[in-house]
Amino acid sequence: TKPNKSNKRSNMMRTCTAALLITCTCTSGYVVRTPTTVAYTKEYIKGLGPDFDVVAHGGYYKLEKQASAKLGAANFAALKPYLPDDFDVVAYGGWNKVFQLAADPKGKLVSIIQNGLKNKKGKIQGAAGESSDDVVALTSLLHAHGKGYDGDLVDGEWASVMNLQAKKSPKIQKIVGKGEKAGTTYSTFDVDDLVFDGNVKLIFGKGDLTSKVKYMPVADNFSVVDKSIVLRRISCDIVGASWKFWKLPRVPLPLRKKGGYLDFLYLDKDVRVTKGNRGGLFVHFRPEFLEQVMA
């Protein structure tokens, strides 16, 4: 049976109403602060009129939280029909937290990674710190934007900036991940040949681990957003790997594996978020965007 559109609209209205109640009653707690939400807050306060007394109404922070929650509620209502089935509001901290995250999912994800890399001295694994649940929620919100695999956008070099290993992630992947740092780990897509190469610098830059993966976009796990089909998955076969240390000759590694895949949760000109078939979550930035973020 087809979903009842009027019911969907009613559910969205109830969600927005709940958000507005939250913005009016909450005076403390979580708030997302990014350039987007800061700009929205300024416009929000400006719209209250020249005679509005910020101090008398609880101060700037309270109004900032109300503004970002209002923005987030509107964004969430638009994204809700396209969220993954396993999106768990309770697990992600409740409605107020989710509305705050929805105010600017990309901006908040970038902020978490920026702070994590600085605190972890550039280490990619564990860069999320205590914000791992927020990262999962944010990637689900980004997934709902309907920006999956796009050959034109993905082509070229990407810098690895965060990975969240899953319980089923390969042991070698977990071991290598511990030594990866932003700015020394890259993957490069060649859409003409349908391959992407991985390059990881280890052991103070003296070790060089490379891999080559043959891929193919497939119809499995596609999404429909705003009546448009969004391609998500590429099948992945590891066809080559090698290791070189310092001045020693490069040595081929017996790493060959077929049948893997990578799901594109989000992709734009700056950010790539993917999930592997073993459950690992990976975030990449364009090298120039990484430099901009860490400047």
Q: What is the CATH number of the domain that holds 173?
A: 2.40.128.280
Decide if 29 is inside a domain: no
Domain boundary among 82, 103, 124: 103
Cα distance between residue 60 and residue 103, in whole Å: 17
155 shares a domain with 62: no
pLDDT reading at 127 higher than 80: no
Decide if 122 is inside a domain: no
Return mean pLDDT, the chain.
88
233 shares a domain with 94: no
How confident is the model over 96-109, as a mean pLDDT?
96
Decide if 155 is inside a domain: yes
55 shares a domain with 148: no
The model's pLDDT over 210-243, given as tens digits with 9 standing for 90+, comes to: 999 999 999 999 999 999 999 999 999 999 999 9
Decide if 228 is inside a domain: yes
Closest CA to 127 of 160, 86, 83: 160
Structure tokens at 49: 């009129």
pLDDT reading at 5 higher than 80: no
285 shares a domain with 179: yes
How confident is the model over 48-75, as a mean pLDDT?
93
Decide if 165 is inside a domain: yes
- What is the tally of structural domains in the chain? 2
186 shares a domain with 54: no
The answer to whether 180 touches 124, Cβ cutoff 8 Å, is yes
Decide if 284 is inside a domain: yes
Decide if 39 is inside a domain: yes
Cα distance between residue 139 and residue 109, in whole Å: 8
The residues, any chain, with a CB within 8 Å of residue 164's CB and separated by 6 or more, are 128, 132, 135, 136, 280, 281, 282
Q: Identify the pLDDT of residue 244.
A: 94
Find how far residue 197's CA is from the centre of its chain.
Answer: 21
201 shares a domain with 60: no
Give the up-direction half-sphere exposure of residue 144: CA atoms within 13 A in the CB hemisphere: 21
* Helix extents (H) in 89-157: 95-102, 105-119, 132-143, 151-154
Indicate left, alpha or beta for 226 from its phi (over 0: left) and psi (-120 to 50: alpha).
left
Domain boundary among 49, 77, 103: 103
Decide if 114 is inside a domain: no
CA–CA–CA angle 107, 109, 115 (5° rounding): 100
> Containing domain of residue 53, as a range?
35-103
Cα distance between residue 209 and residue 84, in whole Å: 35
248 shares a domain with 147: yes
Q: Identify the pLDDT of residue 26.
A: 45
197 shares a domain with 61: no
Q: Identify the pLDDT of residue 13.
A: 45
CA–CA–CA angle 20, 112, 150 (5° rounding): 90
Residue type (1 letter), 58: G
Q: Identify the pLDDT of residue 263.
A: 98
Q: Please state whether beta strands 223-225 and 251-252 pair in parallel, antiparallel, or not at all (unpaired).
A: unpaired
83 shares a domain with 159: no
Lowest mean pLDDT among 19-23, 145-149, 155-159, 228-232: 19-23
270 shares a domain with 185: yes
290 shares a domain with 148: yes
How confident is the model over 5-12, as a mean pLDDT?
48
177 shares a domain with 80: no
Q: Three-state DSSP class for 132?
A: helix
How confident is the model over 107-135, as a mean pLDDT?
88
